[in-house]
């Protein structure tokens, strides 16, 4: 499979903003947890959550430019500008730049703000600005508009499979030469309704994620954006490695094909329902990490896994598994050490027997 | 970027206000008869009502078992998929053994906008999770993949009104790249209070039946429905001896990068998408027999679109079928693709219903009577919120 | 608060014109294009705000366009409708 070069990465999440903040969280094994409201009123309960904020967007754009732009799109804008800046391409012409955004829930807060306008003041007072911003592709539109990117734009909504699904298209565009670069990102946001749903589904709140303890329910919701500047493999330096082997399918038809010696980043994020599934997929003897304790449980968590894979490859070193790992298993949790020439793989399963996978390797082929 | 690798369309399914099957929908285009009406399945407190194009409940009577518990958009998608799969001559069991991709465009289908749930939540009522569970099961592409236990790429495209066209174009690229042997590609969307209120708040909905390209047009009418196309690789077609009803010849897609809701006045994205579709298909503009336009009936869209069409595809007849279907949002591009194939097969294009008075501001006018066509290539295009433009070119199939 | 003052406050708060204060908006300054630089999406949002805060309906943009020229023209429009 022809590989894609990862030229730049931009991230914002519970750990903070930018790759330095992510690296610091990876090295310390710690990321601060905030409080997400779960009820509609001011006093009504809260739940731990990894919250992201977008104030650094002002370094890239005048405030007036995003006066009507919501939290979700601001995260996307920030992630995409950071990725372009990281790649050293902020000034480039963007006529041949495609934009692909993967999101599990879209601009959920704005969807509910629109419903607020209707429930508060009636159907005739529905807010057109909220409606327009609640459409799933609004964030991609804002990114395209503010960057002047006139290539194709795609937004994909596939819950936990969003990132893997969307990557297939990003790759197609590059291979078909519809574009010369793709700004690819995963974005998801938290809100009180999500907090409430989590509480109803998963009950007792948890303050420490332990995703490698597969039978434990330890998910803590998160939000943020992880963006990448991708180019065709042969045309890029691969500053963060080369993305190859995008897998997507049903486990029952044959699982992911991953190189045997790969460092394996699994998308386990503290949901017991998927835990057993991961347990069955981890190869004997593999070195495994689940970095979700640094950014939380969100449908596009795999985009953060991809960022960590890129960082791992660039720095040539493995970041320790944050938090506890099980003993007496046939594999081992990631521990600090050299990556060597091993590739890094990402693997995610949903609760219904579908998987997505990627491999980040050192060279273009 | 030059690929000229046609992808066969071996089956189609379509359901909307114009009919429960593609055959019925196609017939309707040539009758001149349409009956948009005030919404029947929900009510609002607007002082006037805005006509919509609803799918009758009887059209979804086949949803049974698990499917019946899904949200309406997924049920529409599954109904269209059923027709398409049968049309292509495949059984569920056969599909399970292939590598099959699913690519479906939607807007409402991916939105968690259950008003009753949210109203209870706001009042501190701690609503039950059933609507959420239903929502989580109702991602349209995942619902199709699950129903047939398909192994292959799965993608719900949420590019607003261009989603259906994009989904088909993207699935064709999966086939060409060998990511799957067969793809179920299309779009689905249901009518609901949220989009009804939303478009009215934008002041682009008409209180009269929609009049695309007409001088007196005042906006769109919403609709609902779904359409699915079965795309197959040449290897699979040879093996199964499937007949192609049409071919996807080319696809183009570009962003205006202009405004969240208004199209670029010069139609820059649309022009680029048309060019890309022509280039990837290897077809010259002069070979295009007709265009199934986006034609929503809004002042802005129809103005921009007709200017671009008259410039980029001069003398090529165009029409909007939204006068019969309403604007079906994520399903629109797919429904219109299906109708484009049907018109190619029929060798006839309909009059653009709702048009009678030419707008002096527009350089051209849509078809005013049904016309026989001899050409074998046609184009369908969609312009979306966010400035997405998607264009797809179809060629006649095996039997013509 | 006069209608004009209320409108200026709404413009700043509801349309998120963070870099301005209501007092800085001149009665006759164009709202669209130059002047405040609002666009078509702000225009329809304004229609909803006028409905919500004054109970006055702007039926369509034929009616809306002249009314939405400036704070002064909008205030006059609202006063006229309220008087009926």
Q: For the residues A204-209, what does the mean pLDDT come to?
A: 89
Instruction: Name residue, tokens 């490698």.
Output: A212
Tell me: pLDDT of A1 over 70.
no
Helix residue spans in chain A (DSSP H): 19-28, 71-86, 108-121, 128-134, 138-147, 162-175, 192-202, 272-281, 301-315
What percentage of chain B carries pLDDT values higher than 70? 99
Give C48's contacts in chain B (Cβ within 8 Å).
201
Judge: B158–A156 Cβ closer than 8 Å, yes or no: yes
Q: Is C16 on the interface with B (CB under 8 A)?
A: no
Instruction: Work out the minimum CA distance from B260 to partner chain A, whole angstroms.
Output: 6
Q: What is the pLDDT of residue B2?
A: 59
CB pairs under 8 A between B and C: 20
Share the mean pLDDT of chain B. Answer: 96
| Residue A48, CA distances (Å) to A192, A219, B79 in order | 11, 10, 42
pLDDT tens string A238-257: 999 999 999 999 999 988 98
| Residue B206 DSSP one-character state | -
Structure tokens at B113: 């906008």
The average pLDDT across B13-18 equals: 98
Quote the CA–CA distance of A268 and A12 in Å, as a whole number.
20
pLDDT score of A26 more than 90? yes
The fold of the B7-395 domain, in CATH, is Peroxisomal Thiolase; Chain A, domain 1 (3.40.47)
CA distance C50 to C54: 5
On the question of pLDDT at C33 being above 90, the answer is no
- C83 CB within 8 Å of a chain A CB: no
Residue C68's domain comprises 3-83
Range B146-172 average pLDDT = 97
Q: Which residues contact B157 (CB under 8 A, 6 or more apart)?
A: A154, A155, A156, B103, B104, B105, B106, B163, B166, B167, B170, B187, B330
Residue entry with tokens 């080369």: A242
Q: Select from B150, B160, B276 the Cβ nearest to the Cβ of A135.
A: B160
Q: Is C61 on the interface with B (CB under 8 A)?
A: yes
C-alpha A232/C-alpha B202 separation (Å) is 41
Closest in A64, A124, A125 to C19, CB measured: A64
Minimal Cβ distance to A67: which of C18, C51, C57 = C18
Structure tokens at B300: 């802005």
SS3 B211: coil
Question: In Å, how far from its chain's centre is CA B230?
Answer: 14
Q: What is the pLDDT of residues A146-199, one digit of tens each?
A: 999 999 999 999 999 999 999 999 999 999 999 999 999 999 999 999 999 999
Cβ–Cβ under 8 Å, residues A104 and A299: yes
Q: Could you tell me the sign of the dihedral formed by the alpha carbons of A137, A142, A143, A149, in that order?
A: positive
Q: Which residue has 């609803």 as its token pair?
A: B54
If you measure CA to CA, which chain C residue comes closest to B262?
C40
A36: β partners: A47
pLDDT at A41 over 90: no
Question: What's the complex ipTM?
Answer: 0.97
Measured distance CA(A149)–CA(A158) in Å, rounded: 24
Instruction: State residue B1's pLDDT score.
Output: 58
Interchain CB distance below 8 Å, B123 and A128: no
Give the relative orientation of helices B130-137 and B115-122 as an angle to the nearest 10 degrees. 140
The residue of C19, C38, C52, C57 whose CB has the most chain A CBs within 10 angstroms, and thus the best one to mutate to test that interface, is C52
What pLDDT, in 10s, does the model give residues C42-81? Answer: 999 999 999 999 999 999 989 999 999 999 999 999 999 9
Q: In sequence order, what DSSP letters do the residues of B171-205 get, joined into one string?
A: HHHHHHTTS-SEEEEEEEE---HHHHHHHHHTT-B
**What is the rounded CA–CA span in Å between residue A246 and residue A165?**
9
For residues A204-225, average pLDDT: 94
Euclidean distance between CA atoms A181 and B331, whole angstroms: 29
Please provide the distance, in angstroms rounded to a whole number, between the alpha carbons at the two ends of chain B. 28
C44 closest CB neighbour out of B47, B202, B259: B202
CB within 8 Å: C16 and A68: yes
d(CA A150, CA A147): 9
Count of domains for chain C:
1
| B198 chain-A contacts, CB cut-off 8 A | 114, 126, 128, 131-132, 134
Tell me the H-state helices in chain B. Answer: 22-29, 72-87, 92-96, 115-122, 130-137, 140-147, 163-176, 193-201, 234-240, 268-281, 299-312, 322-325, 332-346
List the single residue in B47, B203, B260 with the smallest CB-CB distance to C60.
B203
| CATH number of C21's domain | 1.10.1200.10
**C41–A128 CB contact, under 8 Å:** yes
Q: C60: nearest CA in chain B?
A: B203
User: So what's the pLDDT on residue A329?
Assistant: 87
Q: Which residues on chain C are in Cβ contact (under 8 Å) with A132? A: 41
Residue contact B201–C60, C-beta within 8 A: no
List, for residues B106-151, the tens digit of each pLDDT value.
Answer: 999 999 989 999 999 999 999 999 999 999 999 999 999 999 999 9
CATH match of A4-361 with 3.40.47.10: yes
Cα A10 to Cα A143: distance, rounded to the nearest angstrom: 14
Instruction: List the single residue in B with minimal CA-CA distance to C40.
Output: B262
pLDDT in tens, B224-265: 999 999 999 999 999 988 899 999 999 999 999 999 999 999
Residue A11: name the closest of A24, A1, A3, A21 by CA: A21
**How far apart (Å, rounded) are the C-alpha atoms in residues B11 and A333?**
49
Is some CB atom of chain A closer than 8 A to the CB atom of C41?
Answer: yes
When pLDDT is cut at 50, 70 and 90, the band that residue B400 belongs to is low
State whether residue B370 sits within 8 Å of chain A by CB.
no
Return the DSSP state at B106. Answer: -
Q: Which SS3 state, helix, strand or coil, does residue B356 take? A: coil
**Chains touching B by CB (3 or more pairs below 8 Å):** A, C
User: Which run of H or of E encompasses C3?
Assistant: helix C3-14
- Shortest CB distance from A129 goes to which of C17, C19, C45? C45
- With an 8 Å Cβ cutoff, are C41 and B261 in contact? yes
Q: Are B152 and A249 in contact, with CB atoms under 8 Å apart?
A: yes
Q: Which of A166, A168, A197 faces B129 most closely, judged by CB atoms? A: A197
Contact B243/B386 with Cβ under 8 angstroms?
no
Q: Which residues pair with A287 in a beta bridge?
A: A263, A332
Confidence of residue A328 (pLDDT cuts 50, 70, 90): confident
Which chains neighbour C (Cβ–Cβ under 8 Å, 3 or more pairs)? A, B
Asked if B203 and C47 come within 8 Å (Cβ–Cβ), the reply is yes
By the 8 A CB rule, do A139 and A74 touch? no
- pLDDT digit string, tens, across residues B78-95: 999 999 999 999 999 999
Mean pLDDT of the A314-328 span: 95
pLDDT of residue B63 exceeding 80 = no
Q: Rounded mean pLDDT of chain A?
A: 95
Percent residues over pLDDT 90 in chain A: 89
Reply yes or no on whether the pLDDT at B336 is more than 70. yes
Q: What is the pLDDT of residue A189?
A: 98
Residue C84 has what pLDDT? 84
Q: How far C52 CA lies from chain B's nearest CA (Å)?
A: 12
Instruction: Give A224's strand partners.
Output: A188
């Amino acid at each position: 499979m022809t590989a894609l070069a990862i030229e730049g990465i931009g991230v914002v999440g519970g750990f903070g903003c930018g790759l330095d903040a992510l690296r610091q969280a990876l090295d310390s094994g710690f990321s601060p947890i905030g409080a997400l409201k779960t009820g509609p009123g001011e006093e009504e309960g809260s739940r731990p959550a990894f919250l992201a904020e977008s104030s650094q967007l002002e370094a890239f754009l005048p405030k007036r430019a995003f006066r009507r732009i919501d939290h979700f799109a601001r995260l996307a804008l920030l992630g995409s500008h950071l990725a372009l800046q990281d790649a050293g391409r902020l000034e480039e012409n963007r006529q041949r730049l495609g934009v692909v955004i993967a999101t599990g829930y879209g601009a959920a807060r704005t969807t509910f703000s629109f419903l607020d306008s209707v429930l508060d003041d009636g159907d005739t007072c529905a807010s057109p600005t909220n409606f327009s911003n609640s459409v799933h592709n609004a964030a991609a539109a804002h990114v395209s508009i503010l960057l002047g990117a006139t290539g194709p734009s795609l937004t994909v909504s596939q819950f936990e499979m969003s990132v893997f699904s969307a990557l297939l298209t990003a790759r197609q565009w590059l291979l078909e030469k519809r574009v010369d670069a793709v700004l690819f990102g995963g974005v998801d946001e938290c809100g009180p309704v999500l907090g409430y749903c989590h509480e109803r589904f998963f009950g007792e709140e948890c303050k420490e994620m332990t995703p490698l303890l597969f039978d434990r329910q330890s998910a803590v919701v998160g939000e943020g954006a992880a963006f990448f500047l991708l180019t065709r493999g042969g045309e890029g330096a691969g500053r963060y490695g080369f993305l190859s082997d995008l897998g997507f399918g049903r486990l029952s038809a044959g699982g992911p094909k991953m190189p045997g010696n790969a460092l394996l980043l699994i998308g386990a994020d503290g949901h017991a329902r998927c835990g057993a599934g991961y347990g069955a997929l981890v190869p004997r003897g593999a070195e495994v990490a689940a970095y979700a304790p640094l950014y939380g449980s969100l449908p596009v968590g795999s985009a953060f896994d991809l960022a960590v894979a890129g960082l791992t490859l660039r720095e040539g070193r493995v970041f320790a598994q944050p938090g506890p790992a099980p003993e007496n298993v046939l594999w081992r949790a990631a521990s600090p050490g050299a990556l060597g020439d091993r590739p890094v793989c990402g693997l995610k399963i949903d609760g219904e027997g579908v998987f997505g996978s990627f491999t980040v390797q050192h060279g273009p082929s | 970027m030059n690929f000229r690798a046609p992808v066969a369309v071996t089956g189609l399914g379509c359901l909307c206000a114009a009919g429960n099957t593609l055959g019925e929908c196609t017939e309707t285009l040539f009758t001149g008869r349409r009956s948009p009406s005030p919404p029947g399945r929900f009510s609002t407190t607007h002082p006037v009502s805005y006509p919509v194009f609803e799918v009758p409940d009887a059209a979804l009577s086949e949803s049974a078992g698990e499917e019946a518990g899904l949200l309406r958009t997924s049920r529409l998608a599954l109904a269209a998929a059923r027709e398409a799969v049968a049309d292509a001559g495949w059984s569920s069991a056969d599909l399970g053994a292939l590598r099959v991709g699913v690519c479906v465009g939607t807007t409402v289908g991916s939105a968690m906008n259950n008003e009753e749930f949210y109203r209870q939540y706001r009042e501190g009522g701690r609503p039950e999770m059933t609507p959420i569970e239903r929502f989580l099961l109702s991602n349209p592409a995942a619902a199709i993949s699950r129903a047939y236990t398909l192994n292959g790429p799965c993608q719900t495209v949420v590019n607003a009104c261009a989603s259906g066209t994009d989904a088909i174009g993207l699935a064709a690229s999966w086939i060409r790249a060998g990511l799957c042997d067969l793809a179920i590609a299309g779009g689905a969307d249901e009518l609901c209070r949220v989009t009804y209120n939303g478009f009215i708040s934008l002041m682009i909905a008409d209180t009269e039946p929609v009049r695309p390209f007409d001088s007196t047009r005042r906006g769109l009418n919403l609709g609902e429905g779904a359409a699915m196309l079965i795309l197959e690789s040449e290897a699979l077609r040879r093996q199964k001896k499937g007949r192609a009803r049409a071919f996807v010849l080319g696809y183009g897609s570009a962003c205006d990068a202009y405004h969240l809701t208004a199209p670029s006045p010069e139609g820059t994205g649309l022009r680029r998408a048309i060019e890309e579709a022509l280039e990837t298909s290897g077809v010259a503009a002069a070979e295009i027999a007709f265009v199934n336009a986006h034609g929503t009936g809004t002042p802005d869209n129809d103005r921009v679109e007709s200017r671009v069409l008259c410039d980029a595809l001069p003398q090529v007849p165009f029409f909007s079928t939204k006068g019969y279907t309403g604007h079906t949002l994520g399903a629109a591009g797919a429904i219109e693709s299906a109708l484009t194939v049907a018109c190619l097969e029929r060798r006839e294009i309909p009059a653009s219903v709702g048009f009678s008075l030419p707008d002096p501001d527009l350089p051209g006018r849509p078809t005013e009577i049904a016309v026989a066509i001899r050409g074998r290539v046609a184009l369908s295009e969609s312009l979306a919120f966010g400035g997405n433009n998607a264009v797809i070119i179809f060629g006649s199939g095996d039997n013509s | 608060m006069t209608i004009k003052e209320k409108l200026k406050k709404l413009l700043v708060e509801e349309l998120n014109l963070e870099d301005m204060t209501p007092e800085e908006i001149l009665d006759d300054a164009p709202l669209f294009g130059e002047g405040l630089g609002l666009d078509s999406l702000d225009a329809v949002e304004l229609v909803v705000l006028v409905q919500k805060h004054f109970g006055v309906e702007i039926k369509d943009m034929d009616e809306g366009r002249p009314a939405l020229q400036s704070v002064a023209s909008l205030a006059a429009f609202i006063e006229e409708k309220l008087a009926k």
